[in-house]
Amino acid sequence: MLIIDKVNVSYGPLQVLFDISLQVGEGEIVCLAGRNGAGKTTLCKAIMGLLPISSGDITLDGEMLGSLPAHVIPKKGIALVPQGRRLFSELTVGENLEIGLITQGEEASTLEWIFNLFPRLEERLEQVSSTLSGGEQQMLAMARALCLKPKVLLLDEPTEGLQPSMVELIRATTKQLVKEGVSILLVEQKFEAIIELSNRVVIIENGRNRLILDKPSLEEDPVILKQALGV
């Protein structure tokens, strides 16, 4: 289980997260929702060690992660698919995957698993990643993160800017990953996706916890979520 407990984060003198708390249990999709600038991406960076936390705790299966350097966090079982994908654009699909595989040694079995999830990538191993479509680039960004065989996958707005067919593919893959044992913290702005995918929604506002809703509460009273998203 990933536990974020009263985490505070600052950019220099400016504090941006205030006592943020949430949990992602085994086999769950927990959605992190809120308006632009609420602090969702900042929290993902803090979990990955890319931003230092000034106080609070981040633990995975009981192990403290908050003080670890960023390059150690993926080895502990957390991977991030960042907003904007951040691929190595001049490298091929295969080379991007090779970079993802560096931290673990089961290359053949891992690639077989990934190609079962994203068969299109296997067909494009020699293609330069910058020439892929937006949807294919998102597949590659997810695949590269999955090369780490993470316990928890952080997805930061994975369907942003994609055509409907690719949106459906990414959502279906997200559901499949949970079936295969990967827990997911999903940063999402789309109301329909949150309702469809999440077991629980954590709404943050101005860097603070505002509300936590489980799936029955969401389905019973979706107006609360719409208001939080500005829909």
Q: Where are the domains of the chain?
A: 2-77+150-229, 87-149
pTM check: above 0.75? yes
- Give the CA distances from residue 120 to residues 109, 112, 148, 150, in Å, rounded to whole numbers and listed in that order: 17, 13, 20, 22
Do β-strands 78-81 and 152-156 pair in parallel, antiparallel, or remain unpaired?
parallel
CATH number of 2-77+150-229: 3.40.50.300
Do β-strands 78-81 and 53-60 pair in parallel, antiparallel, or remain unpaired?
unpaired
Q: What is the pLDDT of residue 231?
A: 54
Q: What is the pLDDT of residue 77?
A: 93
Q: Which residue has the tokens 């079962």?
A: 116
Mean pLDDT of 167-185: 94
226 contact partners, CB below 8 Å, separation of at least 6: 191
Q: What is the pLDDT of residue 105?
A: 57
Instruction: Provide, rounded to the nearest whole percent, the portion of the chain with pLDDT above 90.
Output: 64
Q: Please determine, for residue 133, whether its predicted confidence score (pLDDT) is greater than 80.
A: yes
Tens digit of each residue's pLDDT (9 = 90 or more) over 78-114? 999 988 778 888 899 999 898 888 866 567 788 889 9
Count of beta carbons in the 10 Å neighbourhood of residue 147: 24
Q: Which residue has the tokens 């009263």?
A: 6
Q: What is the pLDDT of residue 32?
A: 95
Tokens linked to 131: 């020439």
129: DSSP letter:
G
- Residue 77: helix, strand or coil by DSSP? coil
